[in-house]
Amino acid sequence: MADLTRRFKFTTLTQPADRVDMANYKFSDADRTLLDRLLRFAVENHVHTGVKVTTIATPPPTLTIAPTGGSIPGNAAVHYRYSIVDSRGQEALGSQVATIYTTGQASAPGFAPRLSPVTGTLDGGDYLYAVSACTNDSTQETLLGPTGVGTLPTFGGWYLDLPPLPSGSQFFNVYRKGPRDDELVYLKTLPPEARTTVDAGDQAVNRFRTSPRFNTTNMTNTVTVHLPNPLPSGSWTWKLYRTYDPGQWDNSLLDWIGPTGTYLDDGRATRAGFPPITSAAVGGAPKIDLGTDTEGVPPFTVADVANRIANFNSDRTAVGPSTWQWISEYHRAALVAMRATVGRNTPVTQDMTLSLERHTSGSWLPVTMPFDSDPIVAIIRAGETIGDTVLLSNWPAGPVARGDMLRMNVLQDGYGGNNDIHDLTLAVTLRVQDGVSDQSYQWETT
């Protein structure tokens, strides 16, 4: 294999077996194109006066927000930048910043529910009741308000006169601690019009759902990002970056997007990458094929080998294929491991099982190619929020190629068909060749 220069990765023919046709004639084609761009920047655009030449960033994207459909948090400023990528993967200067503000979170109820004894089947003893205010669904709730206290001398029930609904919220969740309970646990969700309710012992509490630890109201926002101008004709793409801290853009790469100029951000995790501070001039480096150029699985310490995480997210789970799919942007990516998690406040009440499905590049709609007829699955056990790590190095499918699609399947939803699990993530670790071989041109047509 030919060597590369250290800075701009030109191909050097230093070995007897090196040929000019290596890496698709990069020595005589891509290297020449790169050199032409460098000379244009250094010679034609250079001003030899000691005054720094200012590079003007492209205009910012335009943003529109919707309150449901995603997981972008409320009461936050969300910042976006983008960069244009040409047909050889060379990335231009990052754009100016566009910022949008999500709706503020609702406040917790300011008063405790007032209790009056009624007929029922609850055991005698001391009872505590508190409510949280919800916005879009029962998992989007505030912290608990003050606690109402009452004592039943014998069997009975409670009539709850509820406090005023806080501004911006729509309905209440009710939590109860009985004489046999260690803490407040979830009892029920009330309809929007309810201002009173009765607990006569006819509904069991969910002992796996304790009182909320965080205010999660208005956490379902989505943002649609529009490029201000259409992409140039040809094999041009763009990278989108998102951060909640305008001074920190490391690990802010959200997605690498095809010819379309619109992207729906549903709040999924970002990964390693940041907007270029200068227009990049490096591209077209030869690829390392992990399947044919190596033996076994390279260890973590191998130079230029890095791990990447593909996150499969689902806010409300249902048995079947997930609506989120990941398309490989790497020439080869070896599957290492996968691990499933759910929101910290909603442990599963029965085992949740997930699997992966692969579709090959160019034919992944509608042909389905599962890894195995008896696939390895990720499991979150009842009462848990984090599943065990599942190693994938022995799967018969081999490495994932550029353009292949992975899709998550929910085999068992973890909630007995109630579909109340939220913040489900299946994190798949992949080992890729980092640096120059990490570039991809999956929409390239020339």
User: What is the spatial distance between Cα 389 and Cα 375, in angstroms, rounded to a whole number?
Assistant: 15
Percent of the chain topping pLDDT 70: 76
pLDDT level of residue 283 (50, 70, 90 thresholds): very low
Q: For residue 39, give the H/E element and its range.
A: helix 30-39
Mean predicted confidence (pLDDT) in 149-175: 96
User: Computed from CA positions of residues 324, 327, 329, 331, in that sequence, does the dihedral angle turn out positive or negative?
Assistant: positive
Other CB atoms within 10 A of residue 247 CB: 6
User: Computed from CA positions of residues 284, 92, 232, 222, in that sequence, does the dihedral angle turn out positive or negative?
Assistant: positive
- Tell me the pLDDT tens digit for each residue of 208-220: 999 999 898 988 8
Report pLDDT for 65: 95
Cα distances from 321 to residues 55, 202, 324, 338, 356, in angstroms, run: 46, 36, 9, 17, 9
Q: What three-state secondary structure class fits 438?
A: helix
- Tell me the pLDDT tens digit for each residue of 254-270: 999 988 899 999 998 89
Domain assignments of the chain as residue spans, ordered by start: 3-44, 114-210, 287-438
Least confident of 61-70, 117-126, 157-166, 296-305: 296-305
Nearest partner of 237 among 403, 89, 81, judged by Cα: 89
pLDDT level of residue 25 (50, 70, 90 thresholds): confident
Q: Which residue has the higher pLDDT, 320 or 350?
A: 350
Question: What are 273's two structure tokens?
Answer: 């990458």
Q: For residue 7, give the H/E element and its range.
A: none
Q: Is the Cβ–Cβ distance between 185 and 159 less than 8 Å?
A: no
pLDDT level of residue 401 (50, 70, 90 thresholds): confident
Q: Which residue has the higher pLDDT, 142 or 57?
A: 142
pTM confidence score: 0.47
Question: Phi first, then psi: what are they for 197, rounded to 5°?
Answer: -155, 160
Nearest partner of 231 among 266, 256, 267, 265, judged by Cα: 256
Cα distances from 338 to residues 3, 189, 281, in angstroms, run: 35, 34, 35
- Which CATH code fits 287-438? 2.60.120
Local structure of residue 299 (DSSP, 8 states): -
User: What is the spatial distance between Cα 396 and Cα 398, in angstroms, rounded to a whole number?
Assistant: 6
Report pLDDT for 26: 78
Tokens 């696939």 belong to 375
Asked whether residue 438 carries a pLDDT value surpassing 80, the answer given is no
Question: What are 114's two structure tokens?
Answer: 């007032």
